[in-house]
Amino acid sequence: MALTIIELPHVGESVTEGVISKWLVEPGQRVRKYDPLVEVMTDKVNMEVPSPFEGTLTRTLVNEGDTVLMGNAIAEMDVEGAVPSQAAPGAPSPVFSAHPEPVEGRAFEFVDSVRSVGPTGSGEGGQGRPDALLDAQNAARGAASPPAAPSTSGSELRLSPLVKRLVAQHGVDSTKLVGTGMGGRITKEDVLAFVESGAGSKTAHPEPVEGLPASNVIPLTPLRKTIAEHMTRSSREIPAAWSMVEVDVSGLVGYRAAQRERFERDAGVPLTYLPFAAYIVAQALMANPMLNACWDANGIAMNDHVSLGIAVSTDAGLIVPVLHGADALGVQDLAVRAAALIDAARNGTLKLNEVQGGTFTLNNTGALGSIVSAPIINYPQAAIVTTEAIVKRPVVVEGDAIVARSMMNLCMTFDHRVCDGADAGWFLADLKARFEAIDETSALL
């Protein structure tokens, strides 16, 4: 047996933290490898973190309701079959950090190539890790054992940072709360349930934000904070340029109208313009690979496949699920998969692999009536394109005749470190040609 630190696994470049929803195993309980260990809520999905080893959970290092950075320590475990490495004479037995093998087919993987700036990456011998700091404090005080668990009643109640923020925001008297978490700890759900019950409404005095009346403040959700951080990073780090072309999609409009009834009867999903746009964008990206690349400190990282992110508006905020391998899919497959992803995004049932690994993003702002937009690049991708509203308007055609045509704008923002204006222009011209080539004789479905 060897004492091992379990970390909150890294699950994607855009997911930086998670909230510990519920511990599924208590200290002293034996678990098998891959048994569910803890429920974690992120801005993308809710997930069960499985145990990376077989052994006995000896201590939890974070409480239910705590917000924890990815890569930080969350628990200690006595791992069966593990042999501690040789320590220097007189030195304490080492505490390992969990670096399990990736779990094929699961919704995430533990990353062992990332040196965390948190507990397990903060010094040799665990220096700086929460458990190591606690042990050092106990040793300095001459304590023979860890301090007793705190009381969970009255003014001595221990609250996690997240719960403290909620208590302050809603003006809740914490002594009136009943904890349902492990050991009677108060969780986020306990606070929200108390607020919704109206029990504390008469004495509630929400903590104001400087410069704004408290009644005008909407508390930030993890998703809203992540969107803000992600977009700020994109705007700050990427020298972005913008371009637009207008496209005559009259042929596409006619083709969709002719195929819609049969397709929806056979496929069981709506036939929108999105799968046509996704198909055309994916094919054009394979012909214009610079737009499907991303900037790297050592060079430009090229992708040999297209994993197309599709921006989806939900009640919680913007989510970008990913159509993996979009370059190998036809319009019908894209329609079916896109419909499933959109439903999952709006129902909160997306899996982690469904929000990771995008190489390019497509946004259908036209669904909201927009005719021109300037989207922000989904970091660290090289570009994002929007399909705007299809509007019928008079157009001058061959022979100087003026006819009514269905027109759509394509707007694109691109990373000028990766792509020059010529690259962007060729890509947009390719998209335009592919859209305008569709007519009633096309065989896309």
Extract the tokens encoding 425: 């222009």
Residue 110's alpha-carbon distances to 36, 53, 103, 114, 266, in angstroms, are 14, 12, 8, 10, 41
Using omega within 30 degrees of 0 as the cis cutoff, is the peptide bond preceding 380 cis? yes
Measured CA to CA, the distance from residue 99 to residue 85 in angstroms comes to 15
For 258, phi and psi rounded to 5 degrees? -75, -30
- Return the ∠ at Cα 261 (arms to 256 and 267), rounded to 5°: 95
Secondary structure E strands in 165-279 = 240-248
8 Å CB contact between 121 and 71: yes
Catalytic choice (416, 423, 430, 439): 416
35 is catalytic: no
Nearest to 220 by CA among 141, 267, 278, 162: 162
420 is catalytic: yes
**End-to-end Cα distance, the chain:** 59
**Virtual torsion, Cα 309, 311, 314, 319, nearest 10 deg:** 40
Catalytic choice (266, 296, 343, 420): 420
Residues forming the active site = 416, 420
